[in-house]
Amino acid sequence: MEIKMMVNDKSITDNIAPDLLLIDFLRKHGFYSVKRGCDTANCGLCTVLMEDKPILSCSFLAVRANGKHVITLEGMQLEAEVFGRFMAGEGAEQCGFCSPGFIMSVLSMEKEFAQRGMMEPTEEEINKYLSGNLCRCTGYMSHIRAITKYLKRQVD
Among 30-44, 53-67, 114-128, the range with the most confident prediction by mean pLDDT is 53-67
Q: Which residue has the higher pLDDT, 120 or 33?
A: 33
**Residues 22, 57: Cα–Cα separation, whole Å:** 5
Determine the pLDDT at residue 48: 96
124 by Cβ neighbours in 10 Å (0-12 / 13-18 / 19+) ranks as exposed
